Each structure stands twice: as C-alpha cells, then as structure tokens.
Amino acid sequence: MKKLKVIISGGGTGGHIFPAISIANAVKEIEPQTEILFVGAEGRMEMERIPAAGYPIIGLPVRGFDRKNIFKNISVLFDLWKSMRKARKIIKDFNPDIAVGVGGYASGPTLKEASKAGIPILIQEQNSYAGVTNKLLARKAAAICVAYENMERFFPKEKIMLTGNPVRRDLQITPENRQKGYEYFHLDPDKKTVLVVGGSLGARTINQSMSAGIEKMKNSPIQFIWQTGKYYYENAKAEIDKHPGLPLHLTAFITRMDLAYSVADLIVSRAGAGSISEFCLLEKPVILVPSPNVAEDHQTQNALALVNKNAAILVKDHEAVNTLFDTILQSVQDQKLLQSLSKNITGLAQHHSAERIAEKIIEIAGNN
C-alpha cells in the first residue's frame, strides 16, 4: 500500500484542536507511514499547539465575520479570498488522498478547495447543532462523523457515522489518582468536591456566579476547585483574599485534569462538545452553563441533548449569577441525584472515537 497523505483542517479553540490531534495520532498508530499536514488559521491557538504535538501546520489568513460591524467584513471577505487561493495551492502542492475538517475558520476554505480538486473530504461535526460551513460542505463529503444522534436533520443520512468526539487519552480516573488529587489540590478526602471550569480562557458568567456565592461558600460543607481562566484569575484572587480560609483551590489553569476529574463529585462547565464527551466517558455528574457567545447557540443545543435524557442539569447563562451557586449546593449534597446523573450520562458515551474516525479516514483515502 502506498504511503497515505492526509490533510486535517480547523482549530480556533481547544475543543477543535484536541480532537484533531487525537485523530492524527490514531491514524499514525494504524498506518505509521502516513504523512499528515494540518491547515489552521493564522494567529489562532492551533499555530502553537499543533507543532507542539509534532505535526507541521500551514496557516490561512481566514477570520470570522464581524456581526456587530458589517463594514469590517470587507477586509474579512478579502482574507477569505486570499485563504481560498492559499488553500488551493496547499492542496495542489501536498496532493492529499483525503482532507478532514474538524471545525473552525480554516476548515471551510480547505475542504471546499479539496472537493473542487476531486479529493474526498470527511467532516467531523462535534456539536449537536451543525454549523453553516459543515452543512454546506456535507453534500460533497464522503463521510460525516458525528457525536450526537438525530443529525440527519442537517446531513444526508447515508453519510453519517455516529463516532462521538475524540478526547484526551490521559484522563484516567483511578483510586490512585483520586488520592493523588486530594494531595495535589490540598483538599479534604472526607468532603464533597465541586470542580468549576470555564475553559482555558475562562467563562465570565461562571466566575461571576462563584464570586456571588463566596459568603455561602464560607459556611458550606463543600470544597471547590475553581479554574478561572487566565483573564479572570487576578480579579478572583483579589476577591477570595478578602475571605481567608475558604474551602477552595483557586487556579488560572489546571494542568492535571486527570487528578481534578478524579476528585470531582460534581462538575460545573460550559457546554462545549469536547468537554461533554469527556464527562460522558468519565461518568461525571455535571451542571452545564452554555455560552451564549457561540455560533447558532450550539452550546445550548449540546446541553439540551443531555438534559432531555436526564443526564445533566442546565443553568441558563443569564440566570447563573442568581441561581448557579444554590443549584451547586443542592445538587452535590443529593446522592441519589448524583448517581442518577452519572448513570444516565454514561449511557451516552462513545468509546474509541479517534480510532473509529481514523479507520474511516484510512478506508476512504485508500480507495481514492
């Protein structure tokens, strides 16, 4: 069999980048000789993260549309035109056997130009509500790997594969990691632990909700790991420094998520597709606070896919500051509720997602 060549395109957030790297690693495990090239968006997170994972990447000048100032979109359209031209050249020079899109700005131009050149394309749609770009590309796709049921609302049914979203492999929950986690975060093993995360950049509403609950935190029997994100850390630290002795580990970023997940009895999080896939696989009860600042409000759709199966609790962003902290305290002390949420979310887990997607990529590429 000849050496396969695969382009993987997309990025913008960790939610797109981690699955992309997982898919690339899985392809290399099955076919070690495969040559993989990433295509991302200039100035975005993938331009650092992908080389750090050991893969080459080329950036396109593509950007998102400005919904508030339509006049700024003249330059956005020009950058899109430049990106299409650059993507065409990348396709011609690299001559891949398949192009894979994982979502993010770069995915559209790359997959469109690949399709025009007769290269088969595979879409990995991470959310329960498909984005505009993927809906437009679906007609030309050889396969569409999805993480949620009922995606035939958006895509041709015969092209859909329910694979789930690839997640980081290092997230192991074990009794040893639980014990290590209590020591690592300086927590009490006899107390219930709530893990509050807002992604690497943080989530303003979740942080405001935690700040609003500080007085209640003082007298509660619960302890917290509160990850603020880098933009909100200093403000949060100044706030909690006024209240010494809080049952709390405050951090801007958690490097040992395996240990944090291991000690968590309940998680509070945004409703990004990648995070939800991790919670399902790890059997973790979760309160979801969907971000309202995403395209087509897809995080609310992601959350509802779980809530409608009694597999998560939903707190709306605009209600969170007033209600989230009380919901946390009530939920984490209700053992029957925690067990029910854990059982129901486990039923939605999709295992070996990266390997299943990689096998489909290799099958399509090999037939090309």
Span 122-178, pLDDT tens digits: 999 988 888 888 898 999 999 999 998 889 999 999 999 999 999 877 777 888 999
Taking each helix axis from N to C terminus, what angle separates 273-282 and 14-30, rounded to the nearest 10 degrees? Answer: 60
* pLDDT higher than threshold 90 for residue 68: no
Residue 343 C-beta-side C-alpha neighbours within 13 Å: 6
Residues found in the chain? 368
* pLDDT higher than threshold 80 for residue 239: yes
351 with 280: CB under 8 angstroms?
no
136 with 119: CB under 8 angstroms?
no
Residues of the chain with pLDDT > 70: what percent? Answer: 97
What pLDDT does 131 receive? Answer: 81
What pLDDT does 127 receive? Answer: 87
Separation of alpha carbons 365 and 121, rounded Å: 9
Separation of alpha carbons 166 and 60, rounded Å: 25
Instruction: Name residue 58's amino acid.
Output: I
49 with 17: CB under 8 angstroms?
yes
* pLDDT higher than threshold 90 for residue 73: no
CA dihedral 51, 53, 55, 60 (to 10 degrees): -50
Q: 69-78, 160-169, 207-216 — which is least confidently predicted?
A: 69-78
Report the mean per-residue pLDDT for the chain: 91
Residues of the chain with pLDDT > 90: what percent? Answer: 72
Give which of 23, 87, 26, 17 is closest to 50, Cα–Cα: 17
User: Which tens digit of pLDDT belongs to each residue from 307-347?
Assistant: 999 999 999 999 999 999 999 999 999 999 999 999 999 99
DSSP state, residue 127: S
Q: How far is CA 106 from CA 22, 267, 296, 305, in A?
A: 18, 32, 18, 27
User: Which tens digit of pLDDT belongs to each residue from 95-125?
Assistant: 999 999 998 889 999 999 999 999 999 999 9
Partners of 124 in the beta sheet? 145
Cα Rg of the chain, angstroms: 21
232 with 197: CB under 8 angstroms?
no
What pLDDT does 201 receive? Answer: 64
79 with 63: CB under 8 angstroms?
yes
